[in-house]
Amino acid sequence: MRNVTSETLTDLLLNLSGPDTDPRVQEVLGALVKHLHAFATEVGLTHSEWRKGLELLTRAGEISDAERNEFVLLSDVLGLSSLVDMINSPDDCTSSSVLGPFHVLGAPQLPVGGDLIGDNAGQQVVVQGVVRDQAGAPIEGAVIELWQTADNGLYSGQDATQPDYNLRMAMTTGADGRYAVSTIRPTPYLVPTDGPAGDILNATGRHAWRPSHLHFIIEAAGYRSLVTEVFPSDDPYLDEDAVFGVREDLVMEFQPGTRAALPADIEARDRLDEGFSSVEFDFVLPPA
Amino acid sequence: MRNVTSETLTDLLLNLSGPDTDPRVQEVLGALVKHLHAFATEVGLTHSEWRKGLELLTRAGEISDAERNEFVLLSDVLGLSSLVDMINSPDDCTSSSVLGPFHVLGAPQLPVGGDLIGDNAGQQVVVQGVVRDQAGAPIEGAVIELWQTADNGLYSGQDATQPDYNLRMAMTTGADGRYAVSTIRPTPYLVPTDGPAGDILNATGRHAWRPSHLHFIIEAAGYRSLVTEVFPSDDPYLDEDAVFGVREDLVMEFQPGTRAALPADIEARDRLDEGFSSVEFDFVLPPA
Domain boundaries, chain A: 1-45, 80-284
Q: Does B137 touch chain A (CB under 8 A)?
A: no
What are the φ and ψ backbone dihedral angles of A77, each rounded to 5 degrees?
A: -75, -20
Stretch B164-191: mean pLDDT: 97
Which of A153, A262, A156 is closest to A213 using CA atoms?
A153
ipTM for this model: 0.91
Which of A155, A34, A239 is closest to B38 using CA atoms?
A34
Question: What pLDDT does residue B100 have?
Answer: 85
- To the nearest whole Å, the CA of B242 is away from the closest chain A CA by 9
Q: Does B203 touch chain A (CB under 8 A)?
A: yes
Distance CA B201, CA A210 (A): 39
Stretch B70-97: mean pLDDT: 94
- pLDDT tens across B270-281, in order? 999 999 999 999
CB contact under 8 A, A2 and B247: yes
CB contact under 8 A, A31 and B18: no
Chain B hits for A49, Cβ within 8 Å: 28
Q: How confident is the model at residue B206 (pLDDT cuts 50, 70, 90)?
A: very high
Please, what's the largest Cα pairwise distance for chain B?
80
Give the mean pLDDT of chain A: 95
Distance CA B44, CA A28 (A): 9
User: What is the CATH topology of the domain spanning A80-284?
Assistant: Protocatechuate 3,4-Dioxygenase, subunit A (2.60.130)
Q: Which of B58, B83, B238 lies closest to A64 in CB terms?
A: B58
Calculate the dihedral angle through the C-alpha atoms of A285, A287, B1, B5, rounding to the nearest 10 degrees: -170
CA distances from A161 to A150, A157, A191, B249, B270 (A): 11, 9, 20, 64, 76
Q: CB-based contacts of B96: which residues, under 8 Å, 6+ apart?
A: B85, B88, B89, B226, B227, B228
Q: Does B190 touch chain A (CB under 8 A)?
A: no
CA distances from B219 to B131, B179, B181, B246, B288 (A): 10, 13, 17, 21, 10
Asked whether residue B33 carries a pLDDT value surpassing 90, the answer given is: yes
Question: What pLDDT does residue B2 have?
Answer: 85
- To the nearest whole Å, the CA of B114 is away from the closest chain A CA by 31
Which of A27, A189, A188, A174 is closest to A112 using CA atoms?
A174
Q: Does A88 touch chain B (CB under 8 A)?
A: yes
For residue B218, give the 3-state DSSP assignment.
strand
Q: How confident is the model at residue B66 (pLDDT cuts 50, 70, 90)?
A: confident
Q: Which of A2, A35, A45 lies closest to B38 in CB terms?
A: A35
Chain A hits for B6, Cβ within 8 Å: 83, 86-87
Stretch B203-223: mean pLDDT: 97
Q: Which of A13, A35, A80 lies closest to B244 in CB terms?
A: A13
- pLDDT tens across A39-98, in order? 999 999 999 999 999 999 999 999 998 778 999 999 999 999 999 999 998 889 999 999
CA distances from B124 to A138, B254, B255 (A): 80, 11, 11
- pLDDT tens across A186-215, in order? 999 999 999 999 999 999 999 999 999 999
Whether residue A108 contacts residue A172, with contact meaning beta carbons closer than 8 Å, is answered with no
Q: Which amino acid is at B94?
A: T
- To the nearest whole Å, the CA of B261 is away from the closest chain A CA by 31
- To the nearest whole Å, the CA of A204 is away from the closest chain B CA by 5
Question: What pLDDT does residue B158 have?
Answer: 87
Which of A169, A184, A193 is closest to A119 using CA atoms?
A184
Q: How confident is the model at residue A280 (pLDDT cuts 50, 70, 90)?
A: very high
Whether residue A196 contacts residue A59, with contact meaning beta carbons closer than 8 Å, is answered with yes
Burial label for A143, CB within 10 Å (0-12, 13-18, 19+), is: middle
List b or e across B240-267, with b for residues whose CB sees 16 or more CB atoms inside 10 angstroms. Answer: bbbbbbbbeebbbebeebeeeebeeebb
Burial label for A261, CB within 10 Å (0-12, 13-18, 19+), is: exposed
Stretch A18-32: mean pLDDT: 97
Return the percentage of chain B with pLDDT > 90, whole number: 93
- To the nearest whole Å, the CA of B255 is away from the closest chain A CA by 20
- To the nearest whole Å, the CA of A38 is away from the closest chain B CA by 8
Stretch B202-224: mean pLDDT: 97
Stretch A253-264: mean pLDDT: 95
Question: What pLDDT does residue B272 have?
Answer: 97
Q: Does B252 touch chain A (CB under 8 A)?
A: no
Asked whether residue B67 carries a pLDDT value surpassing 80, the answer given is: no
Distance CA B269, CA B261 (A): 10
Chain A hits for B32, Cβ within 8 Å: 39, 78
Chain B hits for A246, Cβ within 8 Å: 1-2, 4
Q: Does A61 touch chain B (CB under 8 A)?
A: yes
